[in-house]
Amino acid sequence: MVTIEEALRIIEDQNISLKSESKPLEGALGFALSTNTVSPFDVPEFDNSAMDGYALCGLYQEYQLVGEVAAGDSKDIKLQDGEAVRIFTGAKVPNNATAVMMQEKTSVTDSTLFLDEMPKVGQNIRKRGGQLTEGQTVFEKGHILNPPSLALMGSLGLSQLEVFSRPRVNIITTGNELVKPGEPKTEGQIYESNSYAISGALEQFGFQHHQKTQIRDDFEATKAGIKTALESCDVLIISGGISVGDYDFVKQSLDDNGVNELFYKVFQKPGKPLYFGRKDNQFVFALPGNPASSLTCFYVYVLPLLQKLSGYGSYGLASYQFPIKHAYENRFGRPSFLKATVVDGKVEILDGQGSSMIQSMAKGNALAFVDDGEVLKEGDLVRCKLIS
């Protein structure tokens, strides 16, 4: 049995080699860049107007109007002192313009422009190179592409991005009692639900599962199922069958498939019988079958590995500290990730902490960490991972 910290360190310390690929802009969200990006040109590439209004030459309150520049126009107007042109947002400002005045502060009679106030040098002109200069580093390798990053890459004219590949994930669920939702079941059977939590949580963080397989509690079937799943994935996530019952065949089946155990059992609640192993460059998590245990272990342990394998520099759900709404004592005898809600900056520990209880987790939005035996009074700070 390892501690939570030891388990997380074992995951973090895995030596891995990252693969990269080229991704189109659309579809690159959440990927980490595998190379540094430098700007191929100045951004903006030319001085342009921040407003619909008039580009002015010299500082006066009255100008002679001599033309118009619309967004996208490439004409190069040369203004004389005291002249102005009609201009629109984003349009190229004439080289020798002194300022742009927004149209709301102007009036025009015939071809004379009158300003309500004196302009200031450079006013409303977005300068060439104001955001980036040619050759400047835009993003370091490892940067995770969020929506504004995609916009920036697009604005640099880049349509294909070099990113770290994401791991291919297979899911196995185990248990004779499990029936697919929508199908008839008999007494003693339950509907299979863990795979939906796992595939949903994968999707939540931009991952996809490749294959999902249901295996009966049978040693040979478990061994064969794991062998097949390992033929097409980088990470195998198994749910159930990892405890000590007579029908828990996962651990032995992993050993027999040449998977080396990196840890088995973590001193925590929920999710004590968690297993983590490796076979060459493939990783296996066997998550305890109880629904809340399985999903909690996904968030706390599987997600960091998936993100590490995707080239992220830091991994896992961010932790925040929130004051607790009520007194609480952890009497579970193990450090605990408790189903909780965080609302208006305060955390509330929910009823229904049983490892089989997914309802409280579904209604909450956080996992609150409370150490073994810790006694909290109202207002004490609790470390929380926000799960939704």
Ligand X SMILES: Nc1nc2c(c(=O)[nH]1)N[C@H]1C(S)=C(S)[C@@H](COP(=O)(O)OP(=O)(O)OC[C@H]3O[C@@H](n4cnc5c(N)ncnc54)[C@H](O)[C@@H]3O)O[C@H]1N2
Binding site for ligand MOO (CB under 6 A): 269-272, 288, 290, 293, 355
**Nearest to ligand MOO of 94, 271 (CB atom):** 271
What lies within 8 Å, CB to CB, of 215 at 6+ separation is 172, 173, 174, 221, 222, 225
d(CA 312, CA 324): 31
Question: 266 by DSSP, 3-state: which?
Answer: strand
Give the H or E element holding residue 264. Answer: strand 260-264
Name the E strands within 2-145. 20-24, 37-38, 48-49, 53-56, 62-69, 83-87, 99-102, 106-109, 112-115, 125-126, 137-139
CB of 262 to ligand MOO, least distance (A): 18
Which CB atom, from 290 or from 336, has the smaller least distance to ligand X? Answer: 290
Residue number with the smallest Cβ distance to ligand MOO: 355
Nearer to ligand X, 48 or 290 (CB): 290
Among 127, 120, 154, 211, CA closest to 37? 154
Asked if 341 is part of the footprint of ligand X (rule: CB under 6 A), the reply reads no
Q: Is 333 in the site for ligand X (CB under 6 A)?
A: no
- Smallest gap from Cβ 374 to ligand MOO, in A, equals 17
Bridge partners of 23, per DSSP, are: 161
Decide if residue 289 touches ligand X (CB under 6 A).
yes
Q: Does 273 bind ligand X (CB under 6 A)?
A: yes
Binding mask 224-243 for ligand X (x = CB under 6 A): ---------------xxxxx
- Burial letters 338-353, b for 16+ CB under 10 A, else e: bbbbbeeeebbbbeeb
What is the distance between the alpha carbons of residues 18 and 38, in angstroms, rounded to a whole number? 22
- Please say which residue, 119 or 241, places its beta carbon nearer to ligand MOO: 241
Query: Which of 167, 225, 277, 288 is in the footprint of ligand X by CB under 6 A?
Result: 288
Residue (of 116, 163, 160) closest to 144 by Cα position: 163
The one of ligand MOO, ligand X, none whose footprint includes residue 248, by CB under 5 to 8 A per kind, is ligand X
Question: Which residues are CB-contacts of 152 (< 8 A; sequence separation ≥ 6)?
Answer: 138
Residue 193 engages ligand X in binding (rule: CB under 6 A): yes
Q: If binding is defined by CB under 6 A, does position 1 make contact with ligand X?
A: no
Which residue lies nearer to ligand X by CB, 263 or 322?
Answer: 263
190 binds, options ligand X, ligand MOO, none, Cβ within 5 to 8 A by partner type: ligand X
Choice between 94 and 289, CB closer to ligand MOO? 289
Size of the residue set binding ligand X (CB under 6 A): 27
Binding of ligand X at residue 189 (CB under 6 A)? no
Task: Check: CB of residue 387 under 8 Å from CB of residue 335.
Answer: no
